[in-house]
């Protein structure tokens, strides 16, 4: 990996770490504001349990939500060879390979670590992309595995979802009588905490996509191929929307459904144009 890409990835990991710490801290602070130190400790324990669950079961949950099935080597020997070759270049064990019977071209990786990882591709991506672009996509997903992005995003989604749910609970049932918040403070917390959690999740997701693009380009050796793949996938996603669970959306390499005019402000994915621009800068370097 080039020194420029390494520095970029280290900086992205540092920013992600800060965001993760802030997200967990927000969860604990909410507990303290609602019911004092005891509630804060309770929330800290709950957060740790949820993170442990996300760590162990994120791959199974993700594959089930996507209705992905294992893809045998006899069904797609060429694709299996491609994944094995790129995994070797990335210094990773070969992940299990799964197929999603959807026409939209898309892909994602999941798993708590390199030894428990999986790559899922849609039927549409195998049909649409030429081999060099498909290699770029697989390399991007392997980069997520190498960078442990799936674990990071799973934990962020778990804590963010808990904060959002807590906001709804406060809205309907109110806080503890001993809470220092008061009526207006509780209302502000109810409204602002889920928004803050969502914005942090978005920032984490975008950082990890940029990092995976850069690392994926290094793995496949062709930044232009990944850039072209992203352009093709983005156009296809607009033409062939795919219905997915909202919590699973950040996993996919491109947003799997049509975006509105202002949706880029609250998107889990960076703008495709910016991702392509950065990759072409790498290709020209």
Tell me which residues are annotated as active site.
141
Buried b (16+ CB within 10 A) or exposed e, 118-130: bbbbbebbbebbe
Read off the tokens for 200.
């942090």
Q: What is the DSSP string of 247-273?
A: GGGGGSSS-SS---TTGGGG-SS--HH
Alpha helices by DSSP H, listed for the chain, are 3-35, 37-65, 77-89, 123-128, 131-146, 149-173, 182-220, 223-239, 272-284
Least Cα distance to 137 among 30, 63, 237, 259 occurs for 237
Q: Report residue 153 CA to chain centroid gap.
A: 5
Cα(74)–Cα(77) distance, integer angstroms: 6
Q: Is the dihedral of CA 196, 199, 201, 204 positive or negative?
A: negative
Q: Is the dihedral of CA 230, 232, 233, 239 positive or negative?
A: positive
Do 103 and 122 form a contact (C-beta atoms < 8 A)? yes
Q: Tokens 């992205």 — which residue?
A: 12
């Amino acid at each position: 990996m080039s020194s420029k890409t390494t520095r970029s990835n280290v900086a992205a990991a540092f920013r992600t770490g800060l965001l993760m710490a802030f997200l967990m801290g927000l969860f604990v602070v909410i507990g303290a504001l609602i019911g004092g130190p005891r509630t804060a400790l309770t929330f800290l324990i709950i957060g740790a349990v949820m993170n442990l669950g996300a760590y162990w079961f994120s791959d199974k949950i993700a594959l089930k939500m996507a209705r992905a099935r294992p893809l045998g080597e006899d069904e797609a020997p060429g694709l299996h060879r491609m994944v094995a070759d790129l995994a070797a270049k990335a210094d990773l064990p070969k992940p299990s390979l799964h197929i999603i019977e959807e026409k939209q071209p898309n892909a994602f990786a999941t798993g708590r670590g390199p030894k428990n990882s999986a790559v899922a591709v849609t039927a549409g991506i195998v049909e649409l992309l030429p081999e060099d672009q498909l290699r770029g996509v697989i390399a991007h997903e392997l980069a997520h595995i190498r960078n442990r992005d799936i674990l990071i995003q799973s934990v962020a989604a778990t804590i963010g979802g808990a904060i959002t749910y807590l906001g709804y609970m406060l809205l309907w049932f109110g806080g503890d009588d001993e809470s220092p918040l008061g009526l207006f403070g509780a209302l502000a917390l109810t409204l602002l905490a889920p928004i803050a959690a969502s914005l942090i999740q978005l920032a984490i997701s975008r950082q990890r996509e940029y990092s995976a693009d850069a690392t994926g380009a290094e793995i496949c050796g062709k930044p232009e191929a990944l850039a072209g793949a992203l352009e093709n996938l983005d156009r296809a996603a607009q033409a062939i929307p795919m219905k997915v669970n909202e919590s699973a959306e950040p996993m996919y390499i491109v947003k799997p459904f049509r975006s509105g005019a202002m949706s880029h402000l609250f998107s889990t994915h960076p703008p495709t144009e910016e991702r392509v621009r950065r990759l072409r800068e790498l290709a020209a370097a």
